[in-house]
Structure 1
Amino acid sequence: MNKDIAAGKWEQIKGSVKQTWGDLTDDDVAQINGSAQKLAGILQEKYGRTKEEAERQVNDFWSRHNSDL
């Protein structure tokens, strides 16, 4: 899972991140800052996901939004 997003593209899709994972705060999204690894870590903390589940969810999200990136 090495799918980091460039800053400009991150600005375009961070709303989708908050929509997909509604419990994420603005601070969470700011901390993620386009990092797939940070997003997975926050999903583990906020939603109690295993590392594998969180990584799968992040990879699925990136795949769905690939055309936006």
Structure 2
Amino acid sequence: MDLSQKSPENIEYMIEAIKEKLKMASASALQSSAFSVEQYDDIYDLYDVVNSKTNLSISEVEALVSELGRLRRV
């Protein structure tokens, strides 16, 4: 997948990958449609952090989920 293109489809791909890696219990509450293409670079940075680690601590998961919540459109 070419993530260099800022598109809603790539945002959806990255959000789904992040949810899978974080094994989020409330993953249904985090829909890719809640994010704007303007936030693409921030979402990509989170995606990159999540994929660079084999294991995430509880505090890392909480920080990532918090950041995703901050990026969501209201």
Q: TM-score range by the shorter chain?
A: 0.3 to 0.5
Say which one has the larger Rg. 2
TM-score, normalised by the number of residues in structure 1: 0.37
TM-score of the aligned structures, taking structure 2 as reference length: 0.35
